[in-house]
Chain A
């Protein structure tokens, strides 16, 4: 049973309110594909992923990044029911998309770095700790329906 203190919830919502979902989403996905290039295996139909510049500017990457982070926003609205929130997406990622759950952990770590570059000194150790907890739980929820 996931427990969130009031302070943790505040650290999440306080930061999230200042996040541009489109920008951060695009950047997070681009960095995932750049820093861990084997993750490109899921995006054969995305066109040009031949260089960091190509990846960063790729409109499909940007759009998909926005989609992914928008979904993350749903988690934040439902912190007490991450399992329920991600139940269908979990099945989708297993049965249709065939994504190794390790990739969720990689993306979570990348998102942390993106938030750190945007929020700099506001991204305190306490803030990082709560957000790492969140991305870990989201990854876990997304992996939960795998079979």
Chain B
């Protein structure tokens, strides 16, 4: 899975348009993931996962910040997310299948809030980008 020049510019433009709302998008993506795929809640036994949870909001902010960082360093996602990759491999060990689930939910959030932004071409680029991020975060698992 290689990001073409067009993919990169689509992703950067998309995140540019999303702008400061990225944090909310992150939180909502998590909320949707917990609702749609309840098994993902097993990674957060220490969280209050109720509606409007401050912990979920804060965590959504972190997730969004990482995506923005990756988009801003899209030529070297592995470098940009290296520490996060270590964290996921050594400590968090989230099963790789779950990154796809969060990715799907993030796309749904974009679709709901900004349908015009998500043309088929941008959809494809964002999907590839989210895949690439998931791959980087699980790259050091074994």
Residues of A within 8 A of B (CB): 30-31, 34-35, 52, 55-56, 109, 112-113, 116-121, 123, 125-126, 128-129, 132
Contacts and interface: CB of A to CB of B under 8 A. Distances in A.
A126 B35 CA distance: 7
Contacts of A119: 112
Interface of B: 28, 31-32, 35-37, 104-105, 107-108, 111-113, 115, 118-121, 123-124, 127
Say what secondary structure dominates the interface of chain A.
helix
Contacts of A34: 120-121, 123-124
Contacts of A56: 120
A113 B123 contact: yes
Nearest to A30: B120
Given A116-B111, A118-B115, A120-B113, A125 B124 contact: no
B120 A117 contact: no
B111 A109 contact: no
Closest 7 CB pairs of A and B: A116-B111, A117-B115, A129-B36, A125-B35, A35-B124, A34-B120, A117-B111
